[in-house]
Amino acid sequence: MKSEIMVFLFIIVGIIALLSAIALLLLRFANREWWNIGIVRLIAWAVPIATIIGLVLLLLGLEHNMLLVTAVGSIMSSLALIVLIAMVIAFPLSGICHILASILERHGKSQQIKNSDSDEISRRNFLRNAAVVFPAVTLTAGVGGFSASFLGVKIPEISFRYDDLPDQLDGFRILHLSDLHLGHYFQLSNLRNLIRNIHAQKPDLVLITGDISDVTSDLPETLELIASLNPAFGCFASLGNHEYYHGVTKCFSIHAKSDIPLLVNRGEVIDVNGVKLFVGGADDPNRLLRNNDNFLHETVDYTISAAPKSSFKILMSHRPRGFVWAAEKGVHLTLAGHTHGGQLGLAGRSVFDSNDPPNYYWGKYRLGKSRLYTSSGVGHWFPFRLGCPAEAPVITLRKSS
């Protein structure tokens, strides 16, 4: 695991170095007027240095279990990285304005246009003012997204309608928790507040689709708090990739001693007033940036194979891509997470959502008679959310009228 962390660290440092070089070059050659201002050059150099220092503090804090150092390093590196990205986005646009203003100025001199020519001066001033707008907007958006990541968790009401839904399940309420990532930005105190707010929702069933806690020592109390909701038909969880990262064997042991079973390649049949409700949990491939289709196909097939044919079937799959094979197997509802919605949304959808092929980043989806809800997650490991708030949706099953 340490070797994987080191590789990840080198990748992050490489990305920071590349972004820093791009930002400095854009400032130096496309925004010469700003480059000549000493304080601007100082800030441009300070941002990448602050990012690296923040990462070092973060790693030292994690290595030696120093919570304050971890928190300072995490916030410092994250905020500095957001500012760095804002610079890379803004400087090309502001550079175009500066270059155009310079061209107009040279043209005016070559044509011997007097300084009193108000139209010429207005055009140059407009371009120079416009150049300031781009970094102002990107920095505001960046800081706004950073701030929004610390706001409370929303509890949206989501409904799914089915033609063949048994009467006993009409109005059945499911709390979907995913990607709590407890330990860094989402603490046990935050979870207590969330559970207090959820109590009023009175869910019938609680399902947790992985990445519960990034601090394994907090997992027992986390599960205890969630179980305190005491839903009539219980609480169940499935694996995410972070359970593997932080010790899947220990996670199994902790779940076995709790009131929340960990379902992996298996399911439970629940009797809801005489109707069979099957809840299954798919496994997670525990790897990134690879094609996991074969793995997901196999784990979904294996999990659903035990479901009674006449049951209403719900699948927990940390990766939303599992929905493709869940739909093939006749699963009525799939719940997923993992993506965090890209933590960047517009009009209630992730800006990274795609239709061809669909990537199921955030929200409601449909394949035939099957439905999917991908949660944007309760927590996150990078503090930035813009138009994509943290959420703990309550999903209500409804019979089509």
Euclidean distance between CA atoms 41 and 96, whole angstroms = 19
227, 235 contact by CB (below 8 A): yes
- Tell me: pLDDT of 100 over 50: yes
The predicted pLDDT at position 65 comes to 72
Report pLDDT digits (tens) over 289-315: 567 899 999 999 999 999 999 999 999
Pairing relation of β-strands 312-316 and 333-336? parallel
| 225 contacts: CB under 8 Å, gap ≥ 6 | 188, 191, 192, 195
- Tell me: pLDDT of 67 over 90: no
Report pLDDT digits (tens) over 106-145: 776 666 655 556 666 788 888 889 999 999 999 999 999 9
Report pLDDT digits (tens) over 349-381: 999 998 878 899 999 999 999 999 999 999 998
The predicted pLDDT at position 62 comes to 72
- Tell me: pLDDT of 228 over 70: yes
The predicted pLDDT at position 193 comes to 96
Report pLDDT digits (tens) over 207-222: 999 999 988 999 999 9
At the second CATH level, the architecture of 157-399 is 4-Layer Sandwich (3.60)
The domain ranges of the chain are 2-148, 157-399
pTM over 0.85, yes/no: yes
353, 359 contact by CB (below 8 A): yes
The predicted pLDDT at position 185 comes to 87
How many helices and strands (H and E) does the chain possess? 11, 13
- Tell me: pLDDT of 271 over 50: yes
pLDDT band at 1 (very low <50, low <70, confident <90, very high): very low
